[in-house]
């Protein structure tokens, strides 16, 4: 583990020497400089974690050096050393970015404690920065996978919204289209990325609880309000609130939300004081809000307030060319997550995926790929590995996608298997089975007799050939 690097900038040689010796014995890697100019040169040449900076220096004084350090490298904790007792000077240094200050003369234990605290905070700050970086990569625009025209348009729109000052965004689309992913891309692609991202499902909580969750409550506001509680709007100040399923919010709650969006102020439940906040609100819905407005279930003024900037997420059926890219994206992701070898899709499998209507959209595709990565041992994913509903829907222009075994197969066996599957799926109903096969009932009965299948059909799952 690398040692913590400290730079001591002080014009008193004895102070520099003494601190360097003692801190060196404490395990720090220490360098010194007698002037601000020399200290800044060392910082430019090499990275430091902590700086002990004297306030009074020849040439540039400590305040000037502090300002320059923060310009060069903000991720350095600076502790000021000063013989002055003026509170105003200390406050000025902290305002400019100093972590702490020590008054001369000081005991070495004071220095040790101050450095330990600064090092812990620096470690925490760097960890937070690392986590924020991970989130930006995880939820960035690159995760909105697809080269189709609809997805290119969505990415271009989000790239404009994210860095803008837009404080209200509406994301519309069917379930499973990636609305929440789009919302997170907006948050993590803008200046609010390092601020809180809070989310709530508007249909999951009753009206009285959702108001408390959003706006908080004062102690004694209702029976169980034993303590004052901050709501999501307070907790997300400076960041983003995601309101999922906004179309299910009750009318009385919609009025209160509209007031917050218009005034940027709210009151806690049971409170009398207005609280100001700066948040971006991203609302998600799978409903047609225009229709809910027409039915009187959604406020028209709130709808227009939310609709100022909107993103419409396309269904997977509207962008079938993206299915192969998405499948590959999920294969790589789950192979890494579950520490499995990277699998491949056969051409017939990809064709089956592209011909399936995907009523559950991207979420359904993601779940299918996750299951295949976990359960299937074969390196190449074949149509037989796919769920039955996808195999059944793998049809284009009347052509069924059948994986021919390497050893070949007799056509008579294929026909027998198809008849058997039709009877199983129809629950033994010959009329329904004939409809599934596109033949008359008498033709089906001839085949049932031919293949000795007129007896009660066995349990599903013993098929030798999968279509």
Do the Cβ atoms of 405 and 419 come closer than 8 Å?
no
* CB atoms inside a 10 Å sphere around CB 390: 20
Q: Return the pLDDT at 413.
A: 85
Q: Return the pLDDT at 407.
A: 79
Domain with CATH 3.40.50.2300 in the chain: 5-132
pLDDT in tens, the chain (467 residues): 568 899 999 999 999 999 999 999 999 999 999 999 999 999 988 889 999 999 889 989 889 999 999 888 767 899 998 877 667 777 788 888 888 888 888 889 999 999 999 888 888 887 777 776 677 777 788 889 999 999 999 999 999 999 999 999 999 999 999 999 999 999 999 999 989 999 999 988 888 789 999 999 888 878 777 888 999 999 999 999 999 999 999 999 999 999 999 999 999 988 889 999 999 999 999 999 999 999 999 999 999 999 999 999 999 989 999 999 999 999 999 999 999 999 999 998 998 998 888 989 999 999 999 999 999 989 999 988 999 888 876 554 445 556 666 778 888 888 888 898 888 878 888 888 888 888 888 889 999 988 888 755 444 444 333 33
What is the topology classification, in CATH, of domain 139-312?
Rossmann fold (3.40.50)
Q: Return the pLDDT at 246.
A: 96
Do the Cβ atoms of 430 and 445 come closer than 8 Å?
yes
Q: What is the CATH number of domain 404-467?
A: 1.10.10.60
- Alpha carbons 151 and 368: distance in angstroms, whole number: 21
- Alpha carbons 7 and 20: distance in angstroms, whole number: 9
Domain with CATH 1.10.8.60 in the chain: 315-397
pTM here is 0.66
Element (H, E) at 180: helix 179-188
Q: Return the pLDDT at 434.
A: 87
- Alpha carbons 49 and 118: distance in angstroms, whole number: 9
Domain with CATH 3.40.50.300 in the chain: 139-312
Residue count (the chain)? 467
Residue found by looking up tokens 């995601």 in the block? 242
Closest CA to 383 of 410, 360, 401: 401
What is the topology classification, in CATH, of domain 315-397?
Helicase, Ruva Protein; domain 3 (1.10.8)
- Alpha carbons 186 and 188: distance in angstroms, whole number: 6
CATH of 5-132, one of 3.40.50.410, 3.40.50.2300, 3.40.50.300, 3.40.605.10: 3.40.50.2300
- Alpha carbons 301 and 308: distance in angstroms, whole number: 11
Residue found by looking up tokens 């360098």 in the block? 31
- Alpha carbons 157 and 317: distance in angstroms, whole number: 21
Q: Return the pLDDT at 139.
A: 78
Residue found by looking up tokens 């509903």 in the block? 389
Q: Could you read off the pLDDT of 292-348 as tens digits, one per residue?
A: 999 999 999 999 999 999 999 999 989 999 999 999 999 999 999 999 999 999 998
- Alpha carbons 328 and 369: distance in angstroms, whole number: 9
Closest CA to 182 of 192, 172, 191: 172
Handedness of CA 103, 107, 112, 113 (dihedral sign): negative
- Alpha carbons 140 and 154: distance in angstroms, whole number: 13
3-class DSSP state for residue 18?
helix
The alpha-helical segments, DSSP class H, found in 36-86 are 36-45, 62-72
Q: Return the pLDDT at 459.
A: 44
Domain with CATH 1.10.10.60 in the chain: 404-467
- Alpha carbons 465 and 413: distance in angstroms, whole number: 9
């Amino acid at each position: 583990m690398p040692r913590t690097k400290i730079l001591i900038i002080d014009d008193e040689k004895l102070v520099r020497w003494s601190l360097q010796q003692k801190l060196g014995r404490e395990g720090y890697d220490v360098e010194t400089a007698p002037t601000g100019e020399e200290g800044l040169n060392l910082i430019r040449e090499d990275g430091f974690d902590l700086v002990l900076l004297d306030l009074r220096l020849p040439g540039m004084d400590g305040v000037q050096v502090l300002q320059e350090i923060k310009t060069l490298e903000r991720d350095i904790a600076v502790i000021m050393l000063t013989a002055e007792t003026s509170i105003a000077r200390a406050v000025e240094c902290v305002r400019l970015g100093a972590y702490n200050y020590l008054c001369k003369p000081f005991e070495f234990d004071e220095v040790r404690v101050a450095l330990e605290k600064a090092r812990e905070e620096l470690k925490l700050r760097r960890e937070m920065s690392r986590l924020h970086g991970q989130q930006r990569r995880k939820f960035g625009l690159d995760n909105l996978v697809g080269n189709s025209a609809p997805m290119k348009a969505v990415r271009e729109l989000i790239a404009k919204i994210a860095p803008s000052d837009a404080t209200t965004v509406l994301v519309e689309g069917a379930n499973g289209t990636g609305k929440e992913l789009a919302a997170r891309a907006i948050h993590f692609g803008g200046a609010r990325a390092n601020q809180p991202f809070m989310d709530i499902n508007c249909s999951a909580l009753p009206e009285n609880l959702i108001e408390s969750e959003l706006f908080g409550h004062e102690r004694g506001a209702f029976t169980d309000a034993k303590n004052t509680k901050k709501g999501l709007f307070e907790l997300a100040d400076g960041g983003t609130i995601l309101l999922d399923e906004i179309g299910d919010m009750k009318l009385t709650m919609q009025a209160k939300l509209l007031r917050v969006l218009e005034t940027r102020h709210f009151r806690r439940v049971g409170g009398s004081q207005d609280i100001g906040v700066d948040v971006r609100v991203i609302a998600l819905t799978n409903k047609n809000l225009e229709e809910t407005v027409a039915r009187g279930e959604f406020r028209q003024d709130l709808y227009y307030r939310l609709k100022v900037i909107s993103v419409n997420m396309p269904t997977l059926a509207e962008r079938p060319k993206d299915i192969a890219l998405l499948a590959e994206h999920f294969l790589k992701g789950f192979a890494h997550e579950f520490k499995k070898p990277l699998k491949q899709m056969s051409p017939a499998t990809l064709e089956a995926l592209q011909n399936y209507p995907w009523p559950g959209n991207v979420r359904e595709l993601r779940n299918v790929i996750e299951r295949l990565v976990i359960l299937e041992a074969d390196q190449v994913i074949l149509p037989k590995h796919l769920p039955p509903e996808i195999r059944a829907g793998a049809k284009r222009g009347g052509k069924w996608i059948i994986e021919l075994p390497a050893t070949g197969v007799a056509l008579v066996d294929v026909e027998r298997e198809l008849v058997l599957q039709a009877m199983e799926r129809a629950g033994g109903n010959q009329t329904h089975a004939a409809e599934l096969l596109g033949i008359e009932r008498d033709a089906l009965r001839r085949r049932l007799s031919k293949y000795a299948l007129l007896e009660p059909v066995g349990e599903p799952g013993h098929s030798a050939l999968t279509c």
